[in-house]
């Protein structure tokens, strides 16, 4: 099974960085997500997870490092989280974390909502090194 790597493209800030490693089960989804064709973009990710579970059946260590996502993306991210939860419920070993800037209260609330709806055992990790899109104090 091949890895799935979708690098960041210089002038395309709407798609997140994707690095799913078949050999280790380490997966990273980072950056911002608001692609024009959300379903098409996330279909590749969802299919890869399905194939990994079926063909490899190994542990999955999934790091979400998304700093922004739109409503359309949130639906697909939720599907991804639900797949991870289902795999864990069926005995698969899943470790999921979401790193976010501790001052990004809006993102923190969105993550909590996705965690609640998906039932995924998701560790929320405040990280000062994460990007924060908040307003400057003078604004």
Task: For the chain, give every domain's residue range.
Answer: 4-126
**pTM of the predicted structure, to 2 decimals:** 0.92
Is residue 37 classed exposed, middle or buried when 0-12, 13-18 and 19+ CB atoms within 10 A define those classes?
A: exposed
CATH 3.30.750 fits 4-126, yes or no: yes
Rounded Cα distance between 16 and 32, Å, is 5
Residue-wise pLDDT for 80-120, tens only, equals 999 999 999 999 999 999 999 999 999 999 999 999 999 99
Rounded Cα distance between 4 and 27, Å, is 9
């Amino acid at each position: 099974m091949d890895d799935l790597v979708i690098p960041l493209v210089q002038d395309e800030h709407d798609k997140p960085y994707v690095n799913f490693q078949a050999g280790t089960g380490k997966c990273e989804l980072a950056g911002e997500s608001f692609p024009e064709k959300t379903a098409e973009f996330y279909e590749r990710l969802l299919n890869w997870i399905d194939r990994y579970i079926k063909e490899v059946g190994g542990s999955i260590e999934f790091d979400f490092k998304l700093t922004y996502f739109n409503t359309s993306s949130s639906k697909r991210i939720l599907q991804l989280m639900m797949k991870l939860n289902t795999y864990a419920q069926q005995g698969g070993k899943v470790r999921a974390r979401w790193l976010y800037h501790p001052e990004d209260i809006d993102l923190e609330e969105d993550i909590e909502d996705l965690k609640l709806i998906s039932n995924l055992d998701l560790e929320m990790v405040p990280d000062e090194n994460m990007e924060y899109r908040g307003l400057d104090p003078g604004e």
